[in-house]
Amino acid sequence: MLTRIDHIGIACFDLDATVEFYRATYGFEVFHTEVNDEQGVREAMLLVNETSDGGATYLQLLEPTREDSAVGKWLAKNGEGVHHIAFGTGDVDGDAAAIRDKGVRVLYDEPRHGTMGSRITFLHPKDCHGVLTELVTSAGLDPAEDAH
Ligand code: MC0
C-alpha cells in the first residue's frame, strides 16, 4: 500500500547551487547526500516532514554524474525541473507486482538500491500520464530486511 509521498525528484545542473537556493529561500536543510553510481546521480535529500507511517517526505535534488544517465539525458532535453515523484510503501515488491498486473510497465524486474539504503523501482512515464513514478521502501520500514 502506498502510504506517503516519499520524495519529489528535481533535476539540476549544479547540486551545490540548488541546495543553497532551497536553504536560503525556504529554509530546507540537507538531511543526507549520496552518489548513486548505478543511477548516475549525485543527490541531496532535504527533509520536509515526517509521516504517520514512520517514514518521511523529502525533496531529492539530483545532479547527473554522466551525460548518458537518465537524469543527464532528461536535463539535456528539458532543462532543470521536476523529474519524478516517488511514493513510499512498506512493500515495494508486492506493490510493483500488483501495479504490473494492471498493465503498467515496471522498469526493473527486482527493486534496486536507492537512497539511504532504500529499495526502489520505477514505472514508465508513458504508462502514468507523463509522470515518471518511483516506488520506495525505506530502510528500516522494509520487512525484507528481517529475512536477512
Ligand atoms: C523520459 N520521459 C519522461 C521522463 N524521462 N517523461 C516524464 N518524466 C521523465 N522523467 C519520456 C521522454 O520525454 C520520452 O517521451 C520517453 O519518456 C522516452 O524517453 P527517452 O528520453 O527516450 O529515454 P529512455 O527511454 O532511454 O529512458 C526513459 C526512462 C528512464 C523513463 C525509461 O529515464 C529510466 O529508466 N528512468 C528510471 C531511472 C531514473 O530516472 N533514475 C534517476 C533517478 P517522448 O514523447 O519524447 O518519446 S535515481 C533516484 O531517484 C534514486 C537515486 C532514488 O530515488 O533513490
The catalytically annotated residue of 39, 50, 60, 148 is 60
Task: List strands edge to edge, sheet with 56-64.
Answer: 30-36, 41-50, 56-64, 2-11, 81-89, 133-137, 119-123, 112-113
Higher pLDDT, 104 or 140: 104
pLDDT at 76 over 70: yes
pTM tops 0.95: yes
Q: Domain ranges in the chain?
A: 2-146
Give the fold, CATH level 3, of 2-146.
Answer: 2,3-Dihydroxybiphenyl 1,2-Dioxygenase; domain 1 (3.10.180)
User: Is 43 designated active site?
Assistant: yes
- Segment (H or E) for 89: strand 81-89
CA separation for the pair 33, 100 (Å, rounded): 31
pLDDT class for 147, splitting at 50, 70, 90? low
Distance of CA 8 from the midpoint of ligand 1 (Å): 14
Across all residues in the chain, what is the average pLDDT?
96
Ligand 1 closest atom vs CA 73: 21
Instruction: Please give the average per-residue pLDDT across 64-92, as a whole number.
Output: 98
pLDDT digits 0-9 by tens, 19-45: 999 999 999 999 999 999 999 999 999
Cell, residue 53: 507511517
pLDDT at 148: 46
Pocket test for ligand 1, best of 35, 84, 105 (most atoms within 8 A of CB): 84
Q: How far is the CA of 3 from the centre of ligand 1 (A)?
A: 24
**Torsion angle, CA of 38/145/55/18, rounded to 10 degrees?**
-20
Instruction: Locate the ligand 1 atom nearest the alpha carbon of residue 77 and give its number.
Output: 21
Between 147 and 4, where is the model more confident? Answer: 4
Could you please report the per-residue DSSP string of 54-85? S-EEEEEEEEESSTTSHHHHHHHHH-SEEEEE
Residue 29 to residue 123: CA distance in whole angstroms: 29
**Chain centroid to CA 90:** 15
Residue nearest to atom 14 of ligand 1 (CA): 126
